[in-house]
Chains A and B, each alone.
Chain A
């Protein structure tokens, strides 16, 4: 599970700006017009024609309806073209960073149209508007149903291609990614069919009620029943595909509750539920009577009026849904903004309901890596040592004078806390008021540096208890670090993508015999998927293909993980999540691992499933 970009910079990445009202209203118009185009053809092909087929006498009504539906379709097409062009210009302006007026110039528009996915999608959609226009013109002249079906196809493609105008365009390495595009397209098609056919239905019912002939009433009855079948299948599709899309875009409960994206998504779902509620009234209360009313024209008319009222309410709610769609597509999806947790508690699988803070689900902006830890060490010394002590055991000079003993920051329990909660305590103090907040003294990035240092030191302390047997229990991770090996730049996290690693730490002279043994063994270790990285904790000029070149911050960080009593050498076996699975020391009881142990352990470590640590810069 990767909840954040793995390496963000000290000055972090910036995403989208605030909501652009011009862009979101243009999108609302375009979505609405596209839906109406699809809905009008859907209404013709699937509702009106079959209804009229059984009552050929209602000729006048059919003529009046067609005139209005043609007008609706032509206006929708015009609005779709104008708003689509506006959308293109705004996107071109955003992409190029130029003001709207300059983006109108040919060169920028040309590059956007020919060299970006969005532009190519827009060219296709421009072609589809031409196809729709031809269908409308032909159909007005010939009234051919075949032309209508071609128009439905073109209008559906016009709506479906909106999937490539936004987040659906991107692919990513997440499970079931192949499902996302089809779900997106089905969602758009179902929404367009249901929302877009509502207005034609309202227009139709107005005409039918005005007509009041018994044929008109019969047609209205069939059309309303057919629309309810269409509505039901659309709602079913919307629910299933909506769940799939939420799965892909919102990601988690904190993202749903704590980000603007998630909150708008919840509002959209609530409006959708209200629409289903209104549709449900049609379905359960009105339609059964409509079937009974086949012989009673006045009752049928009365019911048609109520269906008309409900359809109007549904259409209005639908406009609000589309307005949210207009805004939401511009926002970064839930997981790319830090969720501000709105509740004073959260649910934890192991502990039940526990105290939570607004920053509980924040992820670190600073990767758990040597540069951040090296920056955090002096900050800890300046701000935290007086209470928590130099070793982090809660035994600083001031500790005895406090009403509550400062926390021991080396206990395994430290890792049970969310980093977002540590972030809150360092910024705002603890609930009991004993620990003060450091929000004025330490910038957010500095607070994350301190947390990384505290975590790394605790991990180093806990590593002292790691034995020489591979453990599959929860284990602490080694921080990420950059190194140069045989002239090539690399990082631990990149290396671990290919398999587990053996990190050899030596403080004094290089353990030549051991390194030569490992070097000889390397072809077999590499075949087993194990990489060996040897790091000198003190600057050394020793040459060996396994010894990597590192900077001072890396040496300081890795020094937290060796022991003064290790006989000059510590070896750590890391799984692919950088978790320390076994440790050997030159001075230890069993000494260092022999070749056959290394080979079999490498195979075992490789098979350990890696759940990314919540604070680590590793993972993915």
Chain B
């Protein structure tokens, strides 16, 4: 067997058995309140979980109401016990639609960002 045959063989094996691995870039995994959800009562804190560990120095969340005014109570932060989670405290929210913007810097130096909305149901 020549080196080339060995390479071809390994490549074939790699391609046939290659599983769907996930790595690099912190993407939104799930959030509380959930993306696009309608919640019956106002949440006190917005939690977002990411697919990868974040750099606290350059990661943030913003929550705004319809008029674009911030409804957060303080600044967002990466959970010291779980580097894949970012939280931000919220003011007491009246019924309405809220926009969450997130900006995440993964430990692999790559930045991702996105936004979504959730609704608080009127009582």
Contact = CB atoms under 8 A, between A and B. Distances in A.
Given A7-B31, A169-B109, A551-B37, A333 B24 contact: yes
Contacts of B69: none
Contact of A247 (B18, B112, B115): B18
Contacts of B26: 170
A543 interface: no
Interface in A175-222: 175, 180
A395 interface: no
A246 B113 contact: no
Contacts of B15: 253, 256
Given A239-B6, A243-B14, A484 B24 contact: no
A1 B109 contact: no
A214 B109 CA distance: 54
Interface string B5-32: 0111011011101111111111111111
Contacts of B41: 484, 487
A75 B8 CA distance: 37
B28 A7 contact: yes
B38 interface: yes
Nearest to A4: B27
B57 to A, nearest CB: 4
Given A251-B19, A551-B121, A170 B36 contact: no
Nearest to A277: B4
Nearest to B27: A5
Interface string B86-123: 00000000000000000001111111111111010100
A269 B107 contact: no
B71 interface: no
B56 A165 contact: no
A170 B53 contact: yes
Nearest to A240: B10
Contacts of A493: 30
Contacts of A252: 18-20
Contacts of B32: 489-490, 494
Interface string B46-77: 00000111011110000000000000000000
B18 A13 contact: no
A170 B112 contact: no
B58 A95 contact: yes
Interface in A1-59: 1-3, 5-16
A246 B14 CA distance: 7
Nearest to B43: A489
B24 A9 contact: no
B18 A251 contact: yes
A116 interface: yes
Contact of A371 (B14, B37, B51): B37
A170 B24 contact: yes
A236 to B, nearest CB: 9
A493 B35 CA distance: 12
A335 B22 contact: yes
A484 to B, nearest CB: 5
A335 B108 CA distance: 16
Interface string A136-152: 00000000000000000
Given A8-B35, A247-B19, A251-B20, A336 B30 contact: no
Contacts of A484: 39-41
B18 A246 contact: yes
B36 to A, nearest CB: 4
B114 A491 contact: no
B58 to A, nearest CB: 5
Nearest to A13: B114
Identify which of B23, B52, B111, B113 gathers the most chain A CB atoms within 10 Å of its CB.
B23
A332 B25 CA distance: 7
Contacts of A239: 6-7, 10
B82 interface: no
Nearest to B32: A489
Contact of B7 (A171, A250, A276, A553): A276
Interface string A239-275: 1100100111111110010000000000001001100
A371 B36 contact: yes
A1 B19 CA distance: 8
B106 A9 contact: no
A11 B115 contact: yes
A347 to B, nearest CB: 11
Nearest to B41: A484
A112 B32 CA distance: 30
Contacts of A165: 109
Contacts of A491: 30, 34, 37
A531 B8 CA distance: 50
A230 to B, nearest CB: 15
A548 to B, nearest CB: 9
Contacts of A272: 7
B83 to A, nearest CB: 10
10 contacts: A95-B109, A247-B17, A251-B22, A252-B19, A332-B25, A369-B36, A482-B38, A484-B39, A494-B30, A551-B39
Interface of A: 1-3, 5-16, 91, 94-97, 111-112, 115-118, 165-172, 174-175, 180, 235, 239-240, 243, 246-253, 256, 269, 272-273, 276-277, 279-280, 283-284, 332-333, 335-336, 367, 369, 371-372, 482, 484, 487, 489-491, 493-494, 549, 551-553, 620
Given A243-B13, A367-B35, 10 more contacts: A1-B19, A115-B55, A115-B57, A169-B107, A174-B22, A249-B24, A269-B7, A333-B24, A336-B25, A551-B37
9 tightest A-B CB contacts, nearest first: A9-B116, A551-B38, A5-B27, A482-B37, A13-B114, A371-B36, A115-B57, A482-B34, A7-B35
